[in-house]
Amino acid sequence: MDRTLRLAIRPTPGLSDSAVGPRPSCASDALLGWLLLLPAFVLVFVLIAYPLAYEAFLSLTDARVEQPGRLIWLQNYLDLIADRRFWGAAATTLVYAAVATAGKLLLGTAMALSLARPFPGRPIVFVVLLLPWLYPAVLSATALHLILNPIVYNRVILPLELVSHGLSISTESLWPLARIIFIDVWRGTSFVGVFLLVGLNAIPSELFDVAALEGRNSWLVFRLVTLPLLGRALLLAVLLSVGATLSNFSNLYLSTGGREVTETLGSLAYQAAITRGDLGRAAATALSVLPLVVALMLALARLLDREET
């Protein structure tokens, strides 16, 4: 893909400057470029950088909604480290992001592979598989929470109680996390599947023919041809899906009816800020995800770089 880029920058041979007329100078070129970038920059980078700096400052104070607060340095962070609920929420966040992403990738790959070649009725099946993503997530999470809860309690957890009290308790405590993972995977599979399908479409079909001629078996074809070429799409799918999962507070809040039986770092921050008005603590809690986010961004940047060369 670098080739296209270089071709675009390099003046075509044989086309001298006089034939094209004076090309706009690089300085004015760059100026126009910055100008066109301005809206996106302001709406993305400024809206991330400014709140981030503000939040870093807040986290060092004991500010509350009704009072500005004073500097208490790292006290909020020390309180967090000592808080067992914080560590529980951190663990839940990690498990949730990891399991949901793995589930979406697995089912999404299955969806892409089975849709890759034409068959009668494929367009209809495609739209049906796209439905979970098209159904607005806030609405589906609200509705599914309200529906699934009574079903699972009445049909699964109560009958288990008759079998074994311990089993029913452990099912009941696992259920909230399972529920948010289920709703997230349900919607995410749809998105990841389309993404990978597009990636598969970009694989030239001659490669499959060559592999078949060489007598490779299908697993080898998948491993040697499909998987490496899908790499770029897979990477992007991971990026988009982890991003969506980490910010998926709505799913958690809505699918527990706001009672937050399961706590993640996001819901702890929400509780501190909105329920208790403790802004300093909320800021510190929210910022605790930052190392994870930055690490993931760096890892993906490196993978994207390697994949592009």
Partner 1 sequence: VGARLGPGWGTLRAATLVVLVAFSLGPIYWMVVESLKDDREQVSGAPLWVARPTLKAYREVLVEGAFGRWATNTMLVLAAVTIVTVLSSLLAGYALSHLDVPGRRRIARLLLLSYMVPQTLLFVPLYLTVLALDLENNLLSLIVTYPMLAIPFCSWLFWTHFRALPPQVEEAAMVEGGSRWQIFRQILLPMSGPVMIAAAVFTVGVVTSEFLYASVFLPDPDHQTLAAGLGLSEVGLDELAGVVAGANLGALPVVVLCGAFAPQYVRGLTAAMLEGA
Binding segment (CB under 8 A) for partner 1, from list 71-79, 83-91, 159-167, 184-192? 184-192
The reply to whether 159 sits near partner 1 by the rule CB under 8 A is no
Of residues 26 through 55, those in contact with partner 1 by CB under 8 A are: 26, 29-30, 32-37, 39-41, 43-45, 47-48, 50-52, 54-55
For partner 1, the closer CB: 3 or 166: 3
| One residue of 71, 94, 102, 117 binding partner 1 per CB under 8 A | 117
Binding segment (CB under 8 A) for partner 1, from list 74-82, 84-92, 120-128, 162-170? 120-128
CB of 166 to partner 1, least distance (A): 26
CA dist., res. 245 & res. 33, Å (int): 33
| One residue of 60, 80, 137, 181 binding partner 1 per CB under 8 A | 137
The reply to whether 163 sits near partner 1 by the rule CB under 8 A is no
For partner 1, the closer CB: 80 or 144: 144
Of residues 209 through 238, those in contact with partner 1 by CB under 8 A are: 212, 218, 221-222, 226, 229, 232-233
Of residues 260 through 299, those in contact with partner 1 by CB under 8 A are: 265-266, 269-270, 273-274, 279, 282-283, 286-287, 289-290, 293, 296-297
The reply to whether 203 sits near partner 1 by the rule CB under 8 A is yes
| One residue of 82, 151, 163, 213 binding partner 1 per CB under 8 A | 151
Retrieve residue 122's tokens.
């494929």
| DSSP per position, the chain | -HHHHHHHHSPPTT--HHHH-PPPPHHHHHHHHHHHHHHHHIIIIIHHHHHHHHHHHHTTB--BTTB---B-TTHHHHHHHH-HHHHHHHHHHHHHHHHHHHHHHHHHHHHHHHHSS--TTHHHHHHHHHHHHHS-HHHHHHHHHHHHHHHHIIIIIHHHHHH-HHHHHHHHHHHHHHHHHHHHHHHHHHHHHHHHHHHHHTS-THHHHHHHHTT--HHHHIIIIIHHHHHHHHHHHHHHHHHHHHTTHHHHHHTTTT--SS--HHHHHHIIIIIS-BHHHHHHHHHTTHHHHHHHHHHHHHHHHHHH-
For partner 1, the closer CB: 132 or 177: 132
The reply to whether 71 sits near partner 1 by the rule CB under 8 A is no
CB of 168 to partner 1, least distance (A): 19
CB of 227 to partner 1, least distance (A): 11
